[in-house]
Amino acid sequence: MTLASHELRLHGHSLTYRTAGSGPTLLLLHGIANSSQTWEPVAGALARHFSVVAPDLLGHGASATPRTDYSLGAHASAARDLLSVLDVPRATVVGHSLGGGIALQFAYQFPERCERLVLVSSGGLGREVHLLLRAAALPGADWVLPVLASRGLRGLGRGLDAVLRRTPLAPGGDAEILARGFGSLGSSGSRQAFLHTVRSVIEPGGQRVSANDRLHLAAGIPTQIVWGERDSIIPVAHGRAAHEAMPGSRLEVFPRAGHMPHHDDPDRFAALLTDFCASTAAAQLSSDHWRPSQDLG
């Protein structure tokens, strides 16, 4: 099944989103320099049980690329506003990579809208991240990025893979994912949006945003963590550490998958997500559930 594309104006900007199926809502949030089309391999299986809503995050895909706030909080607010426009009060929020960081922020900002949380090779759970994304945070990346974006996607991917395999940065099968992402940045607006997004969450030394001090707040939200054992963009150790820090969470590691387990094994991914939703009760939290029950002062 192909996700059906729609467009609306949200706060004055064009936002593209894709939908399929019917039933309880899954909000699917993609990674950086990607789009809602990343969910196509699992859309058919998920649409048999759920109403799938997958936006192109602002600055990505077919959505607008304005000069605006590209922080995790801004993306989470836009996702909440999209659900409001669609009259969807609550959803299971699924986030891949950058989308995982947004999903975590969504659950923190809007817990009353979040029924479950699914983190797929998620950002925001540790310091380490691939060198090429750290490089995008460096001064001068604005000049290099148009060169990378102008080359053939697959050719660039093979070239990066060949070079990096001869260094300690051997990327496994994930270099082409980064190459496709760079290659998708065909306009000045998309490149600037990419750089603003990267620099809001990554610095030259690694990821600058961490949810680790608030993971305990997700104890009331059923949480599934999914990772590829061979992920060379964000290491699987982040998922294992988050699982330990999130009481009641589930962890599933796909042994032959890289950074995109929903692509490497879509049938298993869809079955896992379907079973997770069927076997857990949707959270029903208030917006201030995290507040202490009494003043300790």
User: Phi and psi (nearest 5°) for 45?
Assistant: -65, -40
Catalytic residue positions?
Answer: 97, 231, 259
CA–CA separation, 77 vs 266, rounded Å? Answer: 29
Query: Quick one: CA dihedral 209, 212, 216, 220, positive or negative?
Result: positive
Q: Which amino acid is present at 180?
A: R
CA–CA separation, 56 vs 64, rounded Å? Answer: 9
CA–CA separation, 209 vs 251, rounded Å? Answer: 22
97: left (phi > 0), else alpha (psi -120 to 50), else beta? left
Nearest of 82, 178, 104, 192 to residue 134 by alpha carbon: 178
Q: Please name the helix (run of DSSP H) or strand (run of DSSP E) that holds residue 226, with its range, or none.
A: strand 223-228
Q: Which amino acid is present at 114?
A: C
Q: Can you tell me whether residue 246 is helix, strand or coil?
A: coil
Tokens of 149: 């974006």
